[in-house]
């Protein structure tokens, strides 16, 4: 019986990079999804996707979990609305949706906690230091507070708050593909951390305070506090060197117009940073500015649903 499962992309409101070292991160699921369909196929296992090796790895993680030597032939199709390499969690969304679909197709199991656990196994092939925040934000959806306390102990809280409509005014600014992979950026930060732990800890502490302030601002519907906390959060990311010079001028201009813009996920050092996340109350203030930089702009909605069983017949 065919099974179709979808999972959202994610953004970090605050906490990327620092989350690898034990700071909290606040993530939100967005209104762009990956849908994975699995159906019987008579010949052999077939995968159609952007990256067949990645899909095969996901299938192996599921097979190993259940101790399955072989599985019946099936066809798996991946359809994605999430731009790859732009820090919206495209590959984590593929693994969450695929694992969800495989568990349901093979075992009739619907278990987001198990999906999240296995998706973390998959994340670790991308970079060995994966925090587990990306897959958690995508699996559970809404707003997720995530902190890796210890390697075997993770605090994952889905915040029971709905983003007030006056604050759900976020935009993505496309600044171009980053030259560096997320793995390379995580490695760069690890070197920086090893070289000067005191410097890093200082900004990590400031970043943690902003993560809390953002959660509070969203709860209270306070746009000014949200802007201020996002700005300081971005500044900590600039301090640790994950924000390319190419995007700093537009970030400063957004701030002058009363908004805030920040990098997402890994960021980038030498060219584009993928998407910038931007919050601004007057949306008509952005198009001309973005055009001047030859970037492009789209509105997104935060707080969307996590993994979802779309159909099972
Ligand atoms: C990547 O989307 C987010 C990072 O914080 C790495 C991680 O948490 O695994 C840069």
Q: What is the pLDDT along the chain (313 residues), one digit of tens a residue?
A: 899 999 999 999 999 999 999 999 999 999 999 999 999 887 665 655 556 889 999 999 999 999 998 888 888 999 999 999 999 999 999 999 999 999 999 999 999 999 999 999 999 987 778 999 999 999 999 999 999 999 889 999 999 988 998 898 899 999 999 999 999 999 999 999 999 999 999 999 999 999 999 999 999 999 999 999 999 999 999 999 999 999 999 999 999 999 999 999 999 999 999 999 999 987 788 999 999 999 999 999 999 999 999 988 7
Ligand 1 binding residues, C-beta < 6 A: 16-17, 19-20, 130-131, 133-134, 182, 186, 265-266
Q: Whose CA is nearest to atom 3 of ligand 1?
A: 265
Assess contact for 146 and 136: CB atoms under 8 A.
yes
Closest C-alpha to ligand 1, atom 1: 265
Ligand 1 pocket test: which of 95, 138, 182 has the largest number of ligand atoms within 8 Å of its C-beta? 182
**In ligand 1, which atom is closest to the CA atom of 267?**
10
Q: Which of 145, 193, 265, 268 to mutate to test the pocket of ligand 1 (most atoms within 8 A of CB)?
A: 265
Could you tell me if 41 and 74 are in contact, meaning their C-beta atoms sit under 8 angstroms apart? yes
Please give the distance, rounded to the nearest whole angstrom, from the Cα atom of residue 247 to the centre of ligand 1. Answer: 20
Q: In angstroms, rounded to a whole number, what is the distance separating the alpha carbons of residues 120 and 129?
A: 11
At 72 the pLDDT is 84
**Ligand 1 centroid – CA 208 distance (Å):** 15
Residue having the nearest C-alpha atom to atom 9 of ligand 1 = 130
Structure letter (DSSP) for residue 268? B
Nearest ligand 1 atom to the CA of 123 is 9
Q: What is the CA radius of gyration of the chain?
A: 19
Atom 2 of ligand 1: nearest residue by CA position: 265
Rounded Cα–Cα distance for residues 302 and 39 (Å): 31
The residues that bridge with 148 in the sheet, in sequence order, are 154
CB atoms within 10 A of CB 117: 17
In sequence order, the β-bridge partners of residue 6 are: 35, 308
3-class state of residue 203 by DSSP? helix
Give this prediction's pTM.
0.96
pLDDT reported for residue 182: 96
pLDDT value, residue 50: 53
- Chain centroid to Cα 65, Å, comes to 25
- What does the chain come to in residues? 313
CA-wise closest residue to 38 among 96, 103, 90: 103
If you measure from the C-alpha of residue 221 to the centroid of ligand 1, how many angstroms do you get, rounded to a whole number?
27
Domains and CATH numbers, the chain: 3-161+303-311 (3.30.230.10), 170-300 (3.30.70.890)
Integer Cα distance of 182 and 265 in angstroms:
8
* Spacing, Cα 132 to ligand 1 middle (Å): 8
End-to-end CA distance of the chain: give it in Å, rounded.
6
Residue 287, both tokens: 């198009």
Place of tokens 């537009």: 250
Ligand 1 centroid–CA 186 distance in Å is 7
- Distance, CA 161 to ligand 1 centroid (Å)? 24
């Amino acid at each position: 019986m065919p099974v179709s499962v979808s999972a959202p992309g994610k953004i970090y409101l605050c906490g990327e990079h620092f989350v690898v070292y034990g700071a909290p991160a606040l993530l939100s699921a967005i209104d762009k999804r990956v849908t994975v369909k699995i159906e019987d196929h008579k010949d052999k296992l077939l995968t159609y996707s952007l990256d067949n090796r990645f899909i095969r790895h996901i299938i192996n993680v599921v097979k190993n979990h259940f101790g399955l030597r072989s599985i019946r032939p099936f066809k798996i199709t991946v359809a994605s609305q999430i731009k790859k390499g732009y820090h919206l969690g495209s590959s984590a969304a593929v693994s969450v949706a695929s694992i969800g679909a495989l568990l349901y197709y093979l075992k009739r199991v619907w278990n987001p906690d198990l999906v999240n656990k296995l998706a973390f196994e998959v994340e670790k092939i991308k970079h060995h230091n994966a925090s587990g925040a990306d897959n958690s934000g995508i699996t559970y959806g809404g707003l997720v507070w995530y902190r890796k306390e210890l390697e075997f102990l993770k605090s994952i809280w889905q915040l029971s708050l709905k983003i007030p409509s006056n604050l759900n005014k976020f935009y993505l600014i496309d600044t171009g593909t980053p030259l560096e992979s997320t793995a390379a950026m995580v490695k760069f930060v690890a070197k920086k951390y090893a070289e000067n732990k005191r410097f890093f800890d200082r900004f990590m502490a400031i970043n943690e305070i902003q993560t809390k302030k953002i959660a509070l601002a969203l709860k209270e519907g306070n746009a000014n506090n949200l802007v201020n906390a996002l700005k300081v959060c971005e500044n900590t990311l600039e301090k640790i060197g994950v924000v390319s010079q190419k995007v700093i001028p537009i970030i400063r201009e957004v701030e002058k117009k009363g908004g805030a813009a920040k990098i997402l996920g890994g960021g980038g050092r030498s060219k584009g940073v993928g998407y910038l996340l931007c919050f601004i109350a007057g949306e008509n203030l952005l198009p001309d500015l973005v055009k001047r930089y030859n970037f492009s702009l789209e509105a997104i909605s935060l707080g969307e649903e996590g993994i979802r069983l779309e159909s099972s017949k």
